[in-house]
Amino acid sequence: MREKNNSFKELEAKWEAGLPPELERRVSSQTTNFAVFGRVVELFMPNALQAVAHIIGGTSDEGPQTMINPGRRPEPEQWPDWRTAPGGMK
Amino acid sequence: MTVVTTPLNAGIKPSDNELITRFLEDQNPEHFTQLYRRYGGKVFAKCISMLNDEALARDAVQDIFIKVFLNLSRFNEKSSFSTWLYSITYNFCIDLIRRKKKIPVLLADDVSRIGDEPMPEIPDSVLLEMKHERLERVLKDLPEGDRIILLMKYMDDMSIKDIAEFFQKTESAIKMQIMRAKHKAQAIYETIYAHDPIES
């Protein structure tokens, strides 16, 4: 059976063949940049926002937990056995 | 760097939806590049046909794929990926034409202005069997709205129902628009190739 002619499809094939190869590199490098940027945002953004909220005086239960009792030393009874207490006392 | 294993490397061709799922899981751009390799040419062909300008089409392809990349998580599998991608392509190009030429509406007004005058039916074969070089020339001279609707119908094999949904028009309005576009295409053909109407 003779296949139906479709000059639209022939034209499409001709245009498709003209796709410049460097376009793949352009698209690929841009998508890679977006992916990397997305990962950076995902990793650091939540903590950065919490830190900013903390600095400007907000509170958050889920904020960075590194500033609890800043500068406070543990009580002597909390020191591990292997550690020498200040002044050489055991 | 993560090495992608499984079917991609094993020579088994994953489906579009599989590639999308993998991309959404691990954000590895290699999966997206696979999609680009599959559809880049088709999207480029559509952009050239609608925009009539190769440089513009190149930029459009890049912008369309970036748009798709950023919105991939919104793709719901109600339609196929290709249908979704092509509708983004059509919308993108139509917006570009509107912005460039400051045309307020591409199709809607044309359709509503069509009168009730009877038009003789032109068989599809008139366009489908035209030499593609001549068809390209004819399409170039057609107004954007007519060109796009003919491309949807004959290049993408979209149903009248799908075209109507895309333009939010009734099916009969779309049928009328296609008929009108065919008449215009024939008139352009006869004007350009009056000296050599039979293709040799």
Task: Dump pLDDT digits (tens) for A2-22.
Answer: 456 889 999 999 999 999 999
Q: Is the pLDDT of residue B124 over 60?
A: yes
Q: What is the pLDDT of residue B1?
A: 45
- Rounded to the nearest integer, the mean pLDDT of chain B is 84
Question: Taking 60 as the threshold, does the pLDDT of residue A89 lie above it?
Answer: no
ipTM over 0.85: no
State the pLDDT at residue A41: 78
Q: How far apart are CA A90 and CA B2, in angstroms?
A: 51
Residues of A in contact with B62 (CB under 8 A): 23, 26-27, 30
Residue B188 clears pLDDT 50, i.e. is over it: yes
Write the pLDDT tens digit of every residue in B2-58: 445 554 455 678 888 898 988 888 888 888 899 999 999 999 999 999 988 899 999
Residues of chain A contacting B66 with CB distance shorter than 8 Å: 27, 30-31, 34
Using CA coordinates, name the residue in chain A closest to B150.
Answer: A8
The long-range contacts involving B104-112, CB below 8 angstroms and separated by at least 24 positions, are: B106/B144, B106/B145, B106/B148, B107/B145, B107/B148, B107/B149, B107/B167, B107/B169, B107/B177, B108/B167, B108/B169, B110/B143, B110/B145, B110/B177, B110/B180, B111/B167, B111/B169, B111/B173, B111/B174, B111/B176, B111/B177, B112/B173
pTM: 0.72
Report percent pLDDT > 90 for chain B: 42
- Which of B4, B48, B54 is the mutation pick for testing A, counting most A CBs within 10 A? B48
Query: Of the given ranges (A41-45, A65-69, B68-72, B156-160), which has the lowest mean pLDDT?
Result: A65-69
Q: Where is pLDDT greater, at B23 or A77?
A: B23
Q: Which of the pair, A66 or A33, is modelled with greater confidence?
A: A33
Q: Is the pLDDT of residue B94 over 80?
A: yes
Say yes or no for a CB contact (<8 Å) between B33 and A4: no
Under an 8 A CB cutoff, do B62 and A16 touch? no
| Distance (Å) from the alpha carbon of B80 to chain A's nearest alpha carbon | 20
